[in-house]
Amino acid sequence: MTGVDFQILLPEILLAVYALVALMFGVYGGKDKLAGLLTWATAGLFVALALLIALRDGVGATAFGGMFVDDAFARFAKVVVLVSAAGVLVMAQDYMARRDLARFEYPILATLSVIGMMVMVSAGDLMALYMGLELQSLALYVMAAMRRDSVKSTEAGLKWGAVVGPAAVRGFAGVRLCWDDRLCRDRFDPDGRPRAFGPAVRSGVPDLGHGLQGFGSPLPHVDPGRL
């Protein structure tokens, strides 16, 4: 990682470090008693990073050889994600308290999911996109099973994991097949002519589609009113 790469990924790195520190602080400092404090701290960090990204100067840049793109659209999408996540955390506090769901893990899982969303909007290729999608979905289906004393909540988490897990494996296989074909990395030849679809892409796209479909398929089976 070069200095330029580090600067471009600074918001995501700060969120990852915060998630690790908050997890250790929650485990050894009081657990669910710190849920409110961690929620407000996480929301404040989201807003601060949104301001940092919005006020960042410079034109579009890339990191890790084009895998991570930092342009005006990516910065706009990150600001929207961060501000929306901060609003959701603050507005959900009363609901979480009424349902006895005020766990210290909740804002930490939200942080990890937001990191995944930020990686997705800055992804410059399929590999980076899939990494962000995986990080986002793993945190979300842990949230679905967060009510540990509820059989139905555990059932929702298991359904999500049982369906998304195999779909993720097949989707990643599709990404790997597509990655073998330069079409997924370079859409055009050096002379500007469009590349033709190769056999790897024709085999990988259905697997990739199945994987992406699997991420959303558990949603109809998760009834928030039953959690």
Provide, rounded to the nearest whole percent, the portion of the chain with pLDDT above 90: 21
pLDDT at residue 227, as a whole number: 43
User: How confident is the model over 139-168, as pLDDT tens digits?
Assistant: 877 887 777 777 777 777 777 677 666 666
User: How confident is the model over 174-207, as pLDDT tens digits?
Assistant: 666 665 555 454 554 555 555 555 555 555 555 5
Buried b (16+ CB within 10 A) or exposed e, 106-134: bbbbbbbbbbbbbbbbbbbbbbbbbbbbb
pLDDT at residue 81, as a whole number: 94
- The alpha helices in the chain, defined as continuous H runs, are 3-8, 10-29, 35-54, 72-91, 93-98, 105-121, 126-144, 151-180, 199-216
Mean pLDDT, the chain, as a whole number? 76
- Helices 35-54 and 72-91, packing angle to 10 deg: 160
Distance CA 179, CA 200 (A): 8
pTM of the model: 0.75
User: How confident is the model over 105-125, as pLDDT tens digits?
Assistant: 888 999 999 999 999 898 887
Report CA-CA distances (Å) from 59 to 16, 41, 63, 70, 177. Answer: 25, 31, 13, 8, 33
Beta bridge partners of 3: none
Question: Could you tell me if 180 and 200 are in contact, meaning their C-beta atoms sit under 8 angstroms apart?
Answer: yes
pLDDT at residue 8, as a whole number: 83
Buried b (16+ CB within 10 A) or exposed e, 16-55: eebbeebbebbeeeeeeebbebbbebbbebbbebbeebee
Distance CA 134, CA 164 (A): 10
Q: How many Cβ atoms are within 10 Å of 66's Cβ, its own excluded?
A: 12
Question: Could you tell me if 63 and 70 are in contact, meaning their C-beta atoms sit under 8 angstroms apart?
Answer: yes
Would you place residue 220 in the very low, low, confident or very high pLDDT band (cuts 50, 70, 90)?
Answer: very low
**Taking 90 as the threshold, does the pLDDT of residue 17 lie above it?**
yes
User: How confident is the model over 45-54, as pLDDT tens digits?
Assistant: 999 999 999 8
pLDDT at residue 133, as a whole number: 80
**Taking 80 as the threshold, does the pLDDT of residue 40 lie above it?**
yes
